[in-house]
Structure 1
Amino acid sequence: MDRQDHDAYDDPEAPFIPTLATKPRPTKGIKFSPKTICAALAAISLLGIGFLLLHQPSSYIETQNPPSYFAAFNSQSYLQGPPTQRFRDNLRNDTKYITSWTSAGWTNDVMTYGNLIYLALITERIPIIAKFLSSHIDPSEPPFPFGEVFDVPRLSQAIGTPLLEWQEVKDSESQVLDDIGCWSVWESVERYKEDPRPLINYLNTDISWTRTPDWVKLTPPDEIDDHASFWSLATLGFPKARSDNLGLPNRPSPQHHVSLPPDDHLLCFDLLYFIGAQRPWEWESDYSPAWRFVGQHMRWNASIERLADTHARRAMNVPVGEPTPPYISVHIRHGDFRDQCHGLALDQCFASLPIIARRVSEVQEELRTQKGIEVTHVIMTSDELDPEWWSEVRALGWTWVDYVKERTEEIYGKWYPVFLDAIIQSNGAGFVGTRGSTMSNLALRRVQTWHDGPTRIVQWGWPGADNH
Structure 2
Amino acid sequence: MDRRSDEFLLGESPTREAAYDDPESPFIPTFRAKPMASVKGRKRPLRTICIVLVAVSLLSFGVVLLKPLSYLDIDFEKAAVYPATFNSQSYVQGPPTQRFRDNLRNDTKYITSWISAGWTNDVMTYGNLIYLALITERIPIIAKFIPSHVDNSAPPFAFGEVFDVPRLSQAIKSPIIEWHEVKDSESEVLDDLGCWSLWESVQKTQSHPRGSFSLNWLKLDVSWTRTPDWVKLTAPGVTDSHASFWSLATLGFPEARANNLQSTNYPSPQHQVSLPPDDQLLCFDYLYYMGAQNAWEWESDYGPTWRFVGQHMRWNASLESLANEHARRAMNVPVNEPTPPYISIHIRHGDFRNYCNDVPLDQCFASLPVIARRVAEVQEELRTQKGIEVTQVIMTSDERDPEWWSGVRALGWTWVDYTTERTEEIYGKWYPVFIDAVIQSNGAGFVGTHGSTMTTLARRRVESWHDGPTRVVKWGSPNADDH
TM-score, normalised with respect to structure 2 = 0.87
* Equivalent residue, structure 1, for 2:9: none
- Contact preservation (8 Å) 1:137, 1:415: yes
Measured after TM superposition, the shift of residue 8 of structure 1 is: 5.2
Q: 1:338 to 1:328 in 2, by over 3 A?
A: same
Alignment of 1:403-442 (within 5 A): 403-442=418-457
Question: 2:103 matched to 1:99?
Answer: no
- Contact preservation (8 Å) 2:19, 2:352: no
Secondary structure of the structure 1 residue equivalent to 2:218: coil
Match of 2:217 among 158, 183, 202: 202
CA distance in 1, matches of 2:380, 2:307: 28
* Equivalent residue, structure 1, for 2:72: 60
Secondary structure of the structure 2 residue equivalent to 1:179: strand
Measured after TM superposition, the shift of residue 298 of structure 1 is: 0.1
* Equivalent residue, structure 1, for 2:346: 331
Measured after TM superposition, the shift of residue 68 of structure 1 is: 2.4
Larger radius of gyration: 1
Alignment of 1:128-143 (within 5 A): 128-143=141-156
Larger relative contact order, structure 1 or 2 (CA cutoff 8 Å, min sep 6): 2
CA distance in 2, matches of 1:82, 1:383: 41
* Equivalent residue, structure 2, for 1:38: none
* Equivalent residue, structure 2, for 1:270: 285
* Equivalent residue, structure 2, for 1:113: 126
* Equivalent residue, structure 1, for 2:7: none
Secondary structure of the structure 1 residue equivalent to 2:140: strand
Runs (4+) off by over 6 Å: none
Measured after TM superposition, the shift of residue 67 of structure 1 is: 2.2
* Equivalent residue, structure 1, for 2:180: 167
* Equivalent residue, structure 1, for 2:46: none
Match of 1:217 among 228, 232, 240: 232
Secondary structure of the structure 2 residue equivalent to 1:202: helix
Measured after TM superposition, the shift of residue 9 of structure 1 is: 6.1
CA distance in 2, matches of 1:382, 1:71: 36
- Contact preservation (8 Å) 2:345, 2:446: yes
Code of the aligned partner of 1:288? G
Question: 2:154 matched to 1:151?
Answer: no
Alignment of 1:15-414 (within 5 A): 18-20=58-60, 60-62=72-74, 64=76, 65-200=78-213, 201-414=216-429
Measured after TM superposition, the shift of residue 63 of structure 1 is: 5.2
Q: 1:261 to 1:58 in 2, by over 3 A?
A: closer
* Equivalent residue, structure 1, for 2:458: 443
Q: Deviations over 1:272-298 (max 9, x none)?
A: 000000100110001000000000000
**How many residues matched?**
432
Measured after TM superposition, the shift of residue 66 of structure 1 is: 3.0
CA distance in 2, matches of 1:367, 1:330: 15
How much identity, in percent, do the aligned residues show? 74
Secondary structure of the structure 2 residue equivalent to 1:5: helix
Secondary structure of the structure 1 residue equivalent to 2:217: coil
What is the aligned-residue RMSD (CA, Å)? 1.8
Code of the aligned partner of 2:316? N
Q: 1:159 to 1:58 in 2, by over 3 A?
A: closer
- Contact preservation (8 Å) 1:59, 1:323: no
Q: Deviations over 1:307-336 (max 9, x none)?
A: 000000000000111000000000000000
Code of the aligned partner of 1:445? R
CA distance in 2, matches of 1:58, 1:4: 33
> Structure 1 regions of 5+ residues with no counterpart?
22-56
Code of the aligned partner of 1:92? R
TM-score, normalised with respect to structure 1 = 0.90
Code of the aligned partner of 2:386? K
CA distance in 1, matches of 2:380, 2:119: 33
Q: 1:168 to 1:74 in 2, by over 3 A?
A: same
Q: 1:63 to 1:150 in 2, by over 3 A?
A: farther
Secondary structure of the structure 2 residue equivalent to 1:171: coil
CA distance in 2, matches of 1:131, 1:58: 28
> Structure 2 regions of 5+ residues with no counterpart?
1-13, 25-50, 62-68
Q: 1:158 to 1:332 in 2, by over 3 A?
A: same
